Amino acid sequence: MKLYTTPRAPNPRRVSIFLAEKGVTVPTVEIDIMTLEHKRPDFVARNPMMRVPVLELDDGTHISESIAICRYFEETHPEPSLFGTSPVERALIEMWQRRMEFNLMLPVAMSFRHLHPAMAEMEVPQVAEWGEANKPKVMEMLDWLDQDLGDRPYVAGDTFSVADITTLVAVDFMKPARLALPETCANIRRWYTDVSARPSAAA
């Protein structure tokens, strides 16, 4: 088994944090996306989408997409559960995971990819207007999340889950995207202090 990954990139980091929470160690192969290693034929053969991370199983199966990889390890290492244990808990975690992925992490990524000069060779074409258009989407979602976090410790409820991992990575990704967490988001700041202090956050 091998995990093809890129240190510090948001989606690979989600998997790294997930594995750290599970206490699972997987051999890694680093892919330098800034030199376009993810577009080399040998990597494309593993993932035609040309994205990291990719989990290569011993039988040659390749699993890409961060949450798909996390689900694999949830099934093979069920404790501690990060996707929920009851039907209601699983549904709520799935709901919040998708909300955070599509309504926070993705707009942050679009701002970064379409506005940061370092992404010019990777995001072709860069559309500055689209990057700018995503900034208010980020702020709207943060305001909504802050209100919702007023009555519970974690994004999806009373326990830490994959939804918190996605949200943590999205909030940290705001820094290179040149976006700032509003001072008014006291509940997010309380939550962030808590989850970023977990040992897995350094993975």
Amino acid at 135: K
Helix axis angle, 162-173 relative to 10-22, nearest 10°?
140
Q: Is 90 left (phi over 0), alpha (psi -120 to 50) or beta?
A: alpha
**What domains appear along the chain, each with residue ranges and CATH number?**
2-76 (3.40.30.10), 87-202 (1.20.1050.10)
Indicate the burial class of 145 (C-beta count within 10 angstroms; 0-12, 13-18, 19 or more).
buried
Apex 180 CA angle, 98 and 131, nearest 5: 65
Q: What is the DSSP letter of 5?
A: E
| pLDDT, tens digit only, all 203 positions of the chain | 999 999 889 999 999 999 999 999 999 999 999 898 999 999 999 999 999 999 999 999 999 999 999 999 999 999 999 999 999 999 999 999 999 999 999 999 999 999 999 898 888 899 999 999 999 999 999 999 999 999 999 999 999 999 999 999 999 999 999 999 999 999 999 999 999 999 999 98
Residue 153: other Cβ atoms inside 10 A: 14
User: Is 97 within 8 Å of 67 (Cβ atoms)?
Assistant: yes
